[in-house]
Amino acid sequence: MMDHSIKEIRETEQIARSQRLGFRHLLRVEESKAGSSAAIMVVRRMKAAAETGDALRLPGETLAFVGVKPGMVVAELFPAGGYYTRTISDVVGPKGKVYGIENAKWDKGEDAKMAAEPGHANVSIQLVKFGEFNLPQKVDLFWTTQNYHDLHVAEYGNLDIAAFNKHVYDALKPGGIYFILDHQANPGTNDAQIAKVHRIEKSQVIREVTAAGFKLVGEGNALHRPADDHTKMSSDPAIKGHTDQFMLKFQKV
Ligand SMILES: C[S@@+](CC[C@H](N)C(=O)[O-])C[C@H]1O[C@@H](n2cnc3c(N)ncnc32)[C@H](O)[C@@H]1O
């Protein structure tokens, strides 16, 4: 069964999109009627995101697609400031856990502060060498958003992608989920081009992850944006926030 708080958020997003209502107005209404404390936290986070112009990520749709639930143990690769870390932390709640894995070279000292924030004691951050991680327990979910393509960027660490995905497989409980959301690239985009556009082709991700033993169990289209021709770098101001993104859910079988 879907967590109630995620259901509320997802409905908010759907209304906002279908009726083209003012997003901030809608969130004010939603905050006043949100039933659970987790829902209130998630609505507040969305409101903050709306104010910084980042409401286009559809966290409710994304969390619902993945099936994040209270009590889950989650690893997040590259929190980068914690946009999703905080939201996942709110949804998994005090009985759950979020292990943030951050590249020590990218860290700006912000991620580690998250655990001290009210309600986020279930977050712990490890600063490690790019592509490495060491989790103290097996996880229900291994989550990475807008970063899988970086594993192909040679200057970050010349990673063995097959070994990395096998490491993820071993880190999950049986039946555990590996969730990958990333910016779509055009067919034939090679590693050198990935490093330039910061995108990766969905079919390449599927090939690599299933080769590690995972089964593809879901594809999410909420962030599919046909207007994006995939040629601009994902952070180019002309397309940032409006890139065509795919969501893939793999299961350890
Ligand atoms: C937009 S961030 C996404 C971060 C986070 N996973 C999220 O969903 O919000 C991804 C891009 O930022 C860059 N980047 C810079 N600093 C980073 C950090 N500390 N962690 C992750 N990505 C970082 C990477 O090269 C990557 O292509």
> Is the CB–ligand 1 distance for residue 196 below 6 Å?
no
Which residue is closest in CA terms to ligand 1's atom 19?
A: 80
CA dist., res. 219 & res. 233, Å (int): 23
Ranges 24-33, 81-90, 158-167, 217-226: which has the least confidence: 24-33
Q: What is the pLDDT of residues 165-215, one digit of tens each?
A: 999 999 999 999 999 999 999 999 999 999 999 999 999 999 999 999 999
CA dist., res. 163 & res. 184, Å (int): 23
**Nearest-5° Cα angle at 178, 214 to 198:** 105
Which residue is closest in CA terms to ligand 1's atom 26?
A: 147
What atom in ligand 1 is closest to the CA of residue 111? 19
Q: Residue 223's Cα: distance from chain center in Å?
A: 12
Scored b (16 or more CB within 10 A) or e, 236-250 reads: eeebeeebbbbbbbb
| Distance from residue 163's CA to the centre of ligand 1 (Å) | 21
Q: In terms of pLDDT, which residue wins out, 252 or 28? A: 252
| Distance from residue 71's CA to the centre of ligand 1 (Å) | 26
Query: Which residue blocks in the chain are alpha helix, DSSP H?
Result: 4-19, 23-33, 37-51, 59-66, 83-92, 154-157, 161-171, 191-197, 202-211
> Is the CB–ligand 1 distance for residue 179 below 6 Å?
no
Q: What was the pLDDT predicted at 119? A: 85
What atom in ligand 1 is closest to the CA of residue 77? 6
Q: What was the pLDDT predicted at 90? A: 85
User: What DSSP letter does each residue of 69-124 carry, written as one string?
Assistant: -TT-EEEEE--TTTHHHHHHHHHH-TTSEEEEEEETTT--S-GGGGGGSTT-TTEE
Q: In terms of pLDDT, which residue wins out, 116 or 194? A: 194
> Is the CB–ligand 1 distance for residue 80 below 6 Å?
yes
140 near 177, Cβ under 8 Å? yes
Q: Is the pTM above the cut of 0.95?
A: no
* Beta-sheet pairing, 172-183 with 245-252: antiparallel
Q: Which of 54-63, 109-118, 211-220: highest mean pLDDT?
A: 211-220
Q: What was the pLDDT predicted at 16? A: 57
Tokens 């880190």 correspond to 171
Q: Say which residues have a Cβ less than 8 Å from residue 204's Cβ, sequence separation at least 6.
A: 189
**Range 11-19 average pLDDT:** 59
Give 25-31's long-range contacts (Cβ < 8 A, gap of 24+): none
Q: What was the pLDDT predicted at 64? A: 83
> Is the CB–ligand 1 distance for residue 83 below 6 Å?
yes
The chain-wide mean pLDDT, for the chain, equals: 87
Which residue is closest in CA terms to ligand 1's atom 22?
A: 80
CA dist., res. 50 & res. 158, Å (int): 36
Q: What was the pLDDT predicted at 23? A: 47
CA dist., res. 137 & res. 239, Å (int): 39
Does 242 have pLDDT greater than 60?
A: yes
123 near 172, Cβ under 8 Å? no
Q: In terms of pLDDT, which residue wins out, 84 or 19? A: 84
Mutate to test the pocket of ligand 1, among 142, 143, 147 (most ligand atoms within 8 A of CB): 147
> Is the CB–ligand 1 distance for residue 57 below 6 Å?
no
Q: What element of type H or E holds 223?
A: none
Q: What was the pLDDT predicted at 74? A: 98
241 near 54, Cβ under 8 Å? yes
> Is the CB–ligand 1 distance for residue 133 below 6 Å?
no
Q: What was the pLDDT predicted at 33? A: 58
User: Domains in the chain, please, with CATH?
Assistant: 58-252 (3.40.50.150)
CA dist., res. 4 & res. 26, Å (int): 18
